[in-house]
Amino acid sequence: MEDLVLGLLEIFGEFLLEWLFGLGAEALSGLVERKEQDHPTASAIKLAGAGGAAGLLSAWMLPQRLITAHVLLPGVSALLAPLATGIAMHLVGKRLRHLGRQTSNLSTFWGGAIFALSMALIRLWLVGAPH
């Protein structure tokens, strides 16, 4: 039971970290006004690069795992947190568009998920999976 709770806490911590970085990236992208929307492939590559950079930054700022105890399924947060982040960024984008604001591709499910997945994979690579 303790492993399940720790696993859920790890997933929530990863999601929260990725969501906050995603919101920061969305705020920064709002500073740059573009005339045209990027091609989806180019946008995905840029989002993956930005997520990787966010993963590097987060590993530098927090060089240890968020949950240090042994968990039941190691690394599961690297898969589930991007899904949750994609859903959250979709909802943020939907709300911003409802308010009449122009959004970037990060404010979509796929944009948020790609950003968060690349961030999680870089963090998993640098900080490491639990032992």
Q: In tens digits, what is the pLDDT along the chain, a chain of 131 residues?
A: 677 777 777 777 777 777 777 777 766 665 455 556 678 888 899 889 988 988 898 889 888 877 666 667 767 778 888 999 999 999 999 998 999 988 888 889 999 999 999 998 998 888 876 55
Domain count, the chain: 1
Q: Which domain holds residue 42?
A: 2-127
CA distances to 62, 89, 90, 116 from 25, rounded to whole Å, are 19, 11, 14, 11
13 in Cβ contact with 67 (< 8 Å): yes
